[in-house]
Structure 1
Amino acid sequence: MKIQGILVPVLMTIGWTIASATPTMAMTQSDPTQRCEALNNYGMDAAFVTSTRVVEATDKLPAYCEVRATALPSISIETRLPLENWNGKFYQAGCGGWCGMLVRGDEGGRWVNAMSSGLARGYATATSDSGHHGLSVVDADWADANPNGERDWGWRAIGETYRVANTLIEAFYGSENGDSIFQGCSTGGRLAHMASLRYPENYQGIISGAPAMNETGLAGAALAWVVKANTGPDGEPILKPGKDGLIGDEVMKQCDGLDGNKDGLISDPRSCTPDLSVLLCEDGADTKQCLSQAEIGVVNKWYQPAVNEAGEKLFPGGIPAGSEPFWWLWLTGNEEGAVPLNPLFAQSFGAYLAFEPDRGPGWKTVDFDFENDPARMSKAAEMFNSDSPDISKFRAAGGKMIVWHGWADAIVLPEQTVKWYDEAAAAAGGEEALNENVKLFMIPGMDHCGLLPGPGGIAMESIDPLTALEHWMETGEAPSTIMANN
């Protein structure tokens, strides 16, 4: 008989027990490097370790034991265990887009959907690929006829990553972790809300950024609305790259100052209704410096929410005014050849995730039926959506949640987050009651997850929700800001 290729007599001589497949050596060996190596053949229910290695300290991160594992059937997980000065806590990071690329957040060198900010503070950390391998976070062809993969991406990878990581933590340190924190943005934000709903007692703290919590409404109806609005009779985009600056300058001219403060920011896009008719091209005008009637029509539709023929909203809001500096990445592409991402996400979602059975690669976003397709996405909504305002179990467990969203987000449209917050406050018995557990921070001028710098350089590096959350969890004092260095 063999267990993971190691002969039973050998197992017994190094202190393993066949019944539990648990290496007591990992708990008793004083050398952390040897404890790390001992995890290499660690056995768990429905999961197994695939590799371990010691990663040396850098000027930013401590030395740690990297453990890669697979939770069946196919969730790849990486856990990082500080070799020294573990703070006794756990920090789990989400993933972006359709995920599928393990530790992508850390490799990008930023803190959203990454383990680094937790590891730097002494947390044991973990993340996953959400249950599949993808060549790109914008391509969901992995989901084609793959219900297990869809389930794992939808919600199951959250709990399995927590389970595997905490099993490894106990084996490595000889004790369970204390508080656990989940952090994610975009899809990671959707997962953060899902964690509060499906695993309300696992996480004492949650950081949710730009949460794509209404996945079917967003990637289905809202993004299809955006794509169809900009698709001409010839199938080509109506508004092409290069006019985002022209539009953005006019919008800022009209809307900056509506809050009484001319600061280059639109503090609440809901108060701004741009009139772009002033940019209409006159006969003989340089068309690069003006807009055609068709282009104005596209932008006016973008600013509005997706609706059906009866005028019923299929998503709470449209593209926010003030997001124009970021349109080249999300909506239009640029003159250097960058392809906009919103149409790619819309295409993949409709083809592989939205419907049952899958429509497949032959389906096109312009085929989306605003009358009937929302109802056809009901099974996807059950699996993917985490916009329920009833987080009573998380609140009853004493959990604390910080939600943040940029008001200039042109892909995960921010009015959904405000709608969720208002509904959560009503469900909790009022905003004051909700604020015992949940705080919302809407940030003017910030791009999606703060990826691109906005006015004044505002970006993800401008905020520090982890420090705010830690202080809240330790003292009970809710934060009034998440801005860095406050």
Structure 2
Amino acid sequence: MTARLPALATALAASALLITPPAEAGPGCDGLDGIDIPASAMSLPTGGGHVTAVTRTPTLCQVDADLLPVDPAAPPIKMRLALPQAWNGKAMMFGGGGYDGTIPDLTAQVPFGPADRPTPLARGYAVFASDSGHQAGPVGVPSLDGSFGVNDEALRNFAAGDATKKTRDASLFLLRRAGAEPGEIYFAGGSTGGREALNVAQRWPTAFDGVIAAYPAWNNLSEILDLGHLTRILARPNAFPGPEKQALLHESVMNACDGLDGITDRVISNPDGCRFDPHALRCPRGADTGPHCLSDPQIASVMAMSAPFRWPYPIASGETGYPGFPFLSGADMRTPLLGFGTTPPANPMPDTSGYGMRFWDQWVKHFLTRDPGHDPLAVDPSAPGEWRQRISELSAIQDRNDADLGPFQRAGGKLILLHGAADELVSHWSTTDYQQRVRDILGDRATGEFLRYYVVPGANHANAGTPAFAAGWDSLTALETWTDTGRPPRNPVVTDLNHPRTRPLCEHPAWPRYVGGNPDDAASFRCQQPAA
């Protein structure tokens, strides 16, 4: 675990920050221009690194660097570090999203973070991140460029998380050269960044003091197989429910399940209690007769999306399936970038198909077959034929599924897990599975010492579009308090960033039940445990 300053030194440092003008309060960039980063500074193999640019402002120092690959055919890892003058003595690493390929915004908030609190950089954190070891090409959505997957080193940097540790080590080297030795180091990421967050706790348990993992795609290969399965189903003739039918399904589920939590407020807070049957929307004789009903092929598609997908062959990671998506529990699949998309999958893959379908397309072309002309609809995840061995090999890289977090727990690490119950792209059922695996290995008591898991009703993937509930919670302050004092989050409250309302943030498996009073006030709800 990173070294912690003694309490007295910490207090003195804090006092100094209060009485010293910001321009003199922290370390600067002097001596960082153009320096080399030795390969020995990183615990994983690299070709070393080099600072490519240093930018100075009155309030911070920004350093850009390239970390060079071992394979000369592999792209570099491009990383960035921002060190504020009014430094608080701590550091934060941000994870990426999708296929990465760009450096995250270092001025951003943590995933599902609050709107009324400063960002980590504004709080005085030294913040750093990387593009995970490749640079996205000129595509419509940079995070959907998987072309780097043809190179083994670039693939491991991204999928196995190697770039995360290399970036962390290089950033610590630069901070120390600047005279800044962080007392605590945190990691925050969502989606792919959530997988990276869990990966650092798994693989390098002493590298970070605390981790925020939001909607984590930890079993990436397994999810991709499910996405491929669904892509092929939605591509069948007459199987794709268009935007009007998606709206019909969403409203029907909302009407059937919204009040199960004691109040009708367009948020399904008890998703596990939702029992809507899409057959209630069946068109006469199962034929497609218009936007006011679902045909039999469309019902089959909707049912497949909400059902677990199992493959009948072993893979190296040991995973056997993916739990499906909670589309029948309030997710609004009309979110253009996520969800169903507006047109069915095809080859070539339309830009108007769902994010997950395009993710599958890139994976087939560049990870699996390494043939950019390969038809993604020609690969059947249930019976992959000649690609079965390659799928197994990739699973060992992409499924970051070691749930034995005992070393992280024993080192004093703290983990906050967050997920939206209406996530259209990464299933919260998968995160629930991961948390249960941790409990099965470590037991309830040890798990409770370092892990908290919260499911936010109505929240979708990364607050994209107009979710029923746009989650905002100051998880960073909660993590700081837990790390510094040993006090875990107590009765946390989450805010809807799009509406003036709050809800209790219930530790899974509890959910917020309305008990009376102002429906926009968290005090009017109680965390309800599921029925036995």
Q: How far apart, in 1, do the equivalents of 2:93 and 2:458 lie?
A: 28
Q: Distance in 2 between matches of 1:342 and 1:323?
A: 18
Cα shift readout 1:45-96 (whole Å, capped 9, x = no counterpart): 111100001145xxxxxx211100111121100000002x211111000000
Aligned residue for 1:445? 458
Read off the aligned partner of 2:426 and give its amino acid letter: V
Runs (5+) with no aligned partner, structure 2: 1-22, 39-47, 70-75, 314-318, 344-350, 496-501, 505-532
Tell me the amino acid that sits aligned with residue 232 of structure 1: R
2:339 to 331, 346, 355: 331
Partner of 1:477: 487
Structure-2 change in CA distance of 1:313 and 1:38 (3 Å): closer
5 Å-filtered alignment, 1:412-451, equals 412-430=426-444, 432-451=445-464
In structure 2, relative to structure 1, the CA distance for the partners of 1:263 and 1:194 (3 Å cut) is: same
- For 1:408, the equivalent position in structure 2 comes to 422
Answer whether contact 1:389 1:424 (CA < 8 A) is retained. yes
Counterpart in the other structure of 1:196? 201
What are the Cα deviations for residues 417-441 of structure 1, in whole angstroms up to 9, with x where unaligned? 00110110111122x3201111101
Are the counterparts in 1 of residues 326 and 424 from structure 2 also a CA contact under 8 Å? yes
Q: Given the superposition, is the C-alpha separation of residues 278 and 188 from structure 1 closer, same or farther in structure 2, using an over 3 Å criterion?
A: same
Query: Taking structure 1 as reference, are residues 44 and 352 closer, same or farther at Cα in structure 2, changes over 3 Å only?
Result: same
* Contact 2:90 2:125 (C-alpha < 8 Å) held by counterparts: yes
Contact kept, 8 Å, 2:110 with 2:188, in 1: the verdict is: no
8 Å CA contact retained: 1:113, 1:188: no
Whether the 8 Å contact between 2:94 and 2:106 is mirrored in structure 1 is no
What secondary structure, in the 3-state scheme, does the structure 2 residue paired with 1:177 have? coil
Moved more, 180-189 or 472-481: 472-481
Distance 2:306 2:26 in 1: 56
SS class of match (2:310): coil
Report the CA distance between 1:468 and its aligned residue: 1.3
Q: Is the 8 A contact 1:94 1:113 kept in 2?
A: no
Structure 2 Cα separation of the partners of residues 50 and 250 of structure 1:
55
Give 3-state SS (helix, strand or coil) of 1:422's partner: helix
Would the aligned equivalents of 1:95 and 1:113 in 2 still touch at CA under 8 Å?
A: no
Match of 2:41 in 1: none
Asked if 1:158 is matched to 2:159, the reply is: no
In structure 1, how many angstroms separate the alpha carbons of the residues matched to 2:406 and 2:479? 19
The answer for the alignment partner of 2:348 in structure 1 is none
Deviation at 1:375, TM superposition (A): 5.8
| SS of residue in 2 equivalent to 1:287 | coil
2:478 paired residue number: 468
> In the alignment, residue 474 of structure 2 is paired with which amino acid?
D
Question: What is the Cα deviation at residue 181 of structure 1?
Answer: 0.1
Residue 287 of structure 1 aligns with which residue?
A: 290
Q: For 2:121 and 2:27, locate their aligned partners in 1 and report how far apart those are by CA, in whole Å.
A: 20
Deviations 1:73-124 (A, max 9, x none): 21100000002x2111110000000000123x458x654399x821111010
Q: Distance in 2 between matches of 1:345 and 1:479?
A: 35
Does residue 208 (structure 1) correspond to residue 213 (structure 2)? The answer is yes
What is the RMSD of the two structures over their aligned residues, measured on CA atoms? 2.8
Supply the distance in 1 between the matched residues of 2:390 and 2:99 (Cα, whole angstroms): 21
| Secondary structure of the structure 2 residue equivalent to 1:161 | helix
Q: Which of 403, 408, 420 is the equivalent residue of 1:394?
A: 408
- State the match for 2:176 in structure 1: 170
Aligned residues: 434
Aligned to 1:254: 256
Deviation at 1:260, TM superposition (A): 4.5
Structure 1 residue aligned with 2:96: 95
Query: Is the Cα–Cα contact under 8 Å of residues 86 and 124 in structure 1 kept in the other structure?
Result: yes
Structure 1 CA distance for aligned equivalents of residues 403 and 443 of structure 2: 12
Q: 1:394 to 1:165 in 2, by over 3 A?
A: same
Query: Any residues of structure 2 matched to 1:49-198 within 5 Å, and which?
Result: 49-56=51-58, 63-73=59-69, 74-83=76-85, 85-103=86-104, 105-106=105-106, 111-112=110-111, 117-135=119-137, 136-144=142-150, 146-154=151-159, 155-172=161-178, 174-198=179-203
Asked whether the 8 Å contact 2:420–2:460 carries over to 1, the reply is yes
Match of 2:233 in 1: 229
The C-alpha deviation readout for 1:241-291, integer Å capped at 9, x for no partner, is 332221011112222233454443223434323212222224899612222
The 1:313/1:31 distance shift into structure 2, 3 A limit, reads closer
Gaps of 5+ in 1: 1-29, 57-62
C-alpha spacing 1:88/1:34, structure 2 compared with 1 (3 Å) = closer
Distance 2:106 2:28 in 1: 24
Residue in structure 1 matched with residue 43 of structure 2 by the alignment? none
Partner of 2:266: 264
Q: When the two structures are superposed, what TM-score results if normalisation uses the length of structure 1?
A: 0.82
Question: What is the alpha-carbon distance in structure 2 between the residues aligned to residue 254 and residue 127 of structure 1?
Answer: 44
Is the 2:77–2:133 Cα contact (8 Å) retained in structure 1? yes
Distance across 2 between alignment mates of 1:132 and 1:285:
45
Q: For residues 226 and 165 of structure 1, what CA distance do their matches in structure 2 show?
A: 40
Identical pairs, percent: 27
Report matched runs for 1:39-50 at 5 Å.
39-45=32-38, 46-50=48-52
Match of 2:306 in 1: 303
Note if contact 1:320-1:407 (Cα within 8 Å) is conserved in structure 2.
Answer: no
**Secondary structure of the equivalent of 1:258?**
helix
Question: Which whole-Å CA distance do the structure 1 matches of 2:288 and 2:201 have between them?
Answer: 55
Q: Is 2:95–2:192's contact at 8 Å kept on the other side of the alignment?
A: yes
Residues in 2 aligned to 1:429 and 1:316: alpha-carbon distance in whole angstroms: 23
Contact 1:247-1:324 within 8 A present in 2 as well = no
TM-score using structure 2 length: 0.75
Corresponding residue of 1:459 = 470
